[in-house]
Structure 1
């Protein structure tokens, strides 16, 4: 610990007294002895007592190259000695310029206009507002609605909650939200059509989506989608071809396609961006989380010249995009992001990642033999292991049993930190995790599932 006069017990006491944790029932939290993290090394988190935990969720899906990577630390230290922050309102900023130019070389073709913000929710809030205002400037102010998907999660600001689709997170706030048109999402056994295979499910959902567009398209500004996998919905993976089909329907009915790559971007799916797997170029794309390798808040909403040019005009026309954030284009975050992209290339990370993706698939396949493991879903180095009370009917454990939480608490005894999505145990480690560390992670999760479910 940095201050040897402060004990772990004091930190735990002060945490319970003063800190309100996100997505946490604080009454339960106050009964526990929280782990207090003080250091990080590579894929490991180290607590105030010196215990080590494999970071199985990449510190909320952000970490890429490991904790306290020397080159990233040095980039941050060098920048903080030059400039900590300067506004982009009325000034340009060196690091934000350099990062935008660098991003233009890796984003899908034509996406080379970058609007900075500071987290995934704000990047998506910008995208929604940008899409609507674009339609206004194109003489289509009646296009006020958005098509969204069941089980979607796009953030926690009110605009992004409006385009979300997870009742447990979003239902409370419904009186404050704008109305959207929700389409079915293709997850085979749990979809609304009772499909026999993922391919059939994808076609059925595309057919349902087209029917919605035929009915509501003229009133819609755009469609919002998490490409390939819905993260917070439970790591729900879309069948091949679905994303491409959505792009074609958006083109046919004149809707802007907004891709939420906050969780999937920067290598998580095995490509730099998930859209690349199906050669899809959205009209607007939101990126965050991995962009700054888990070091600092940073997000970008990316679009093309067609959208960008709709906002250009004389000052009196009021075509300006009246949106912004205090720490937009923060030089410290941009400097780290630039160094992170350099490390992607230097470490050949996307190529070396493929062997770990294959090994993860092999370890996940082994779990299918367990009697209380239901569906297992993987996309790149992200996976969800669904725990079920009855495997034959896929009946989930009752919510109040907190089975997923208990598995993750048990995993700590095996040196693994994980966090569930309900009854789904998430696997989402730093991209730079070694193969030996990946084995330790999966060993710990497997033992914990067996211990908690009584197998």
Structure 2
């Protein structure tokens, strides 16, 4: 029999991701609509979006060109298979994205999320070496406090212990570099921390126990978002690139968060002038309007697969909804908005104001560190000793006062849509200060 209960009366049916359900059910936070910089909650309150939804709504909510593109394509081509088939918008979306990626990363494989993009990138890296006659290269190196989604591959390479501990043994062929967070030398850094390039040298130290000829790839986020906004030290990414080149190891950048303007450039690879071999993306690719992810690979990787009989499937991998026509329409429309409104350039221009606003909290109660780059900031809060964590109190109180933030561990993450105005930046950080002033 059909369940006719209202969503309010049947909330127990929903199992939310990354949520403390028993705590949530005591006072649910429910969003019912959105426009521009604001959500509206179930009580009718406007909520300033301080974290671009979930790091993804870079152009602001319910943007008319994106909404209309989705509507048109859903009415024209609701679904098209991409196994041995294609449709026009798949070609167009891939071309538009490859025009933004670093030179040479011209081949785009579509999926549906950052998690799928991470697992896809790992499979491509391992399969490429096999196709290149180096089947012994099967190990992947990740990093402590790294986040590459929740697929088995990405979880194995990721280094956030709380995400891993419930799921038993993961993939065996994964090793981890140390994270780069060094508050003893870099606390309250503005932009890239000055100290820590030597953390990249830990890759060569791994070679004592892991023969470099067995390593397929190193996978890192240029800037770690979910681990609490960990900014790469000056020169760190370039050093990783040099070591990978020296030993024939592929370098994978997870740009799911850093892509599409978050740091004031198309991608972190562009901003830091370090070209990876493979790059993952999602979130801002469609402004969060439709699920989509993608993997960009350099020419030599793609052509490395193009061997053997012409009727052979070179990469036996994909998803039912890869390059979904409605998602492709959303991606193209999103890229048009970014271009027409020059939102990446706008983010770069706003970054100094945003940085000053973030660091104005340096003397606020309980603040132990502040990190920032582009339009993203992490405010590290001392843990507290109550049953309910201090960081949760700040997050929940801010929402009740009309500002949406993210909390990860003991870090408040602020990463608003790129359309934010200066007065809205002020409001976010003034709200945080006011709450900290009254939080034990």
Which of 6, 9, 15 is the matching residue for 1:13?
9
* CA displacement, residues 103-148 of structure 1 (integer Å, 9 cap, x when unaligned): 1211100001111000000001000011001111111111111111
CA displacement at 1:25 relative to structure 2: 1.8
Aligned positions, number: 430
1:57 corresponding residue in structure 2: 51
Closer, same or farther: CA 439–135 of 1 in aligned 2, 3 Å: same
CA distance in 1, matches of 2:422, 2:323: 35
1:158 corresponding residue in structure 2: 152
Match status 1:304 vs 2:291: no
Which of 340, 347, 354 is the matching residue for 1:346?
340
CA distance in 2, matches of 1:176, 1:248: 29
CA displacement at 1:190 relative to structure 2: 6.5
CA-based RMSD: 2.0
| 8 Å Cα contact 2:265/2:345 also seen in 1 | no
CA distance in 2, matches of 1:118, 1:190: 39
2:215 corresponding residue in structure 1: 220
Closer, same or farther: CA 236–20 of 1 in aligned 2, 3 Å: same
Which of 241, 244, 255 is the matching residue for 1:250?
244
CA distance in 1, matches of 2:193, 2:75: 53
* CA displacement, residues 170-225 of structure 1 (integer Å, 9 cap, x when unaligned): 1222413333111112222369xxxxx9434222x122222224652111001001
CA distance in 1, matches of 2:366, 2:207: 40
CA distance in 1, matches of 2:209, 2:49: 46
Q: Any idea what SS the aligned residue of 2:93 has?
A: helix
1:194 corresponding residue in structure 2: none
1:69 corresponding residue in structure 2: 63
| 8 Å Cα contact 1:397/1:423 also seen in 2 | no
Question: Structure 2 matches for 1:37-436, cutoff 5 A?
Answer: 37-189=31-183, 198-203=193-198, 205-213=199-207, 215-216=209-210, 217-227=212-222, 229-315=223-309, 320-388=314-382, 396-398=383-385, 400-436=387-423
2:434 corresponding residue in structure 1: 447
CA displacement at 1:399 relative to structure 2: 8.6
Match status 1:28 vs 2:23: yes
| 8 Å Cα contact 1:405/1:419 also seen in 2 | no
CA distance in 1, matches of 2:408, 2:37: 21
Q: Any idea what SS the aligned residue of 2:305 has?
A: coil
CA distance in 1, matches of 2:317, 2:109: 10
Closer, same or farther: CA 213–110 of 1 in aligned 2, 3 Å: farther
1:391 corresponding residue in structure 2: none
Closer, same or farther: CA 154–344 of 1 in aligned 2, 3 Å: same
| 8 Å Cα contact 2:196/2:234 also seen in 1 | no
CA displacement at 1:378 relative to structure 2: 0.8
Unaligned 5+ segments in structure 1 are 1-5, 192-196, 389-395
CA distance in 2, matches of 1:400, 1:333: 43
Deviates more, 1:116-125 or 1:368-377: 368-377
CA distance in 1, matches of 2:410, 2:193: 22
* CA displacement, residues 351-385 of structure 1 (integer Å, 9 cap, x when unaligned): 22233211111111110012310111112111110
CA displacement at 1:102 relative to structure 2: 1.1
CA distance in 2, matches of 1:257, 1:400: 42
CA displacement at 1:262 relative to structure 2: 0.5
CA displacement at 1:13 relative to structure 2: 3.5
| 8 Å Cα contact 1:121/1:157 also seen in 2 | yes
| 8 Å Cα contact 1:187/1:198 also seen in 2 | no
Closer, same or farther: CA 238–136 of 1 in aligned 2, 3 Å: same
Q: Any idea what SS the aligned residue of 2:439 has?
A: helix
